[in-house]
Amino acid sequence: MTITSINTADAKDKFADLVNRVIHHREQIILTRRGKEVAAIIPYEDLLLLLETRNKIDLDDAMNAMQEARNQGTITLDALKEEIVG
């Protein structure tokens, strides 16, 4: 899989070509502005994989938080405010 970097000004003029490269060659395009990476054009399937991965990580984090609450107990919101503020 090829990864190409292009600035946003040039990408504007070549947008249709860039999208075709992503669709037909599964190329990943990194968009830059003033030398800084700011966005990407990727195949839709790659986006779905990223979202699925993020959802799994979020679920794992939630399950870990629930387990921690079971193991360590919980406190009320008022107690948390008191703990933070002092």
Q: What is the pLDDT of residues 28-66, one digit of tens each?
A: 999 999 999 999 999 999 999 999 999 999 999 999 999
Q: What is the pTM of this model?
A: 0.68
Q: Residue 18 — pLDDT band, cuts 50, 70, 90?
A: very high
Looking at residue 44, its pLDDT comes to 97
pLDDT for residue 86: 76
40 strand-pairing partners: 30
Q: What residues does each domain of the chain span?
A: 3-42, 45-85
- Select from 9, 5, 76 the least CA-distant residue to 41: 5
Say whether pLDDT at 1 is over 80.
no
Write down the CATH superfamily of domain 3-42. Answer: YefM-like domain (3.40.1620.10)
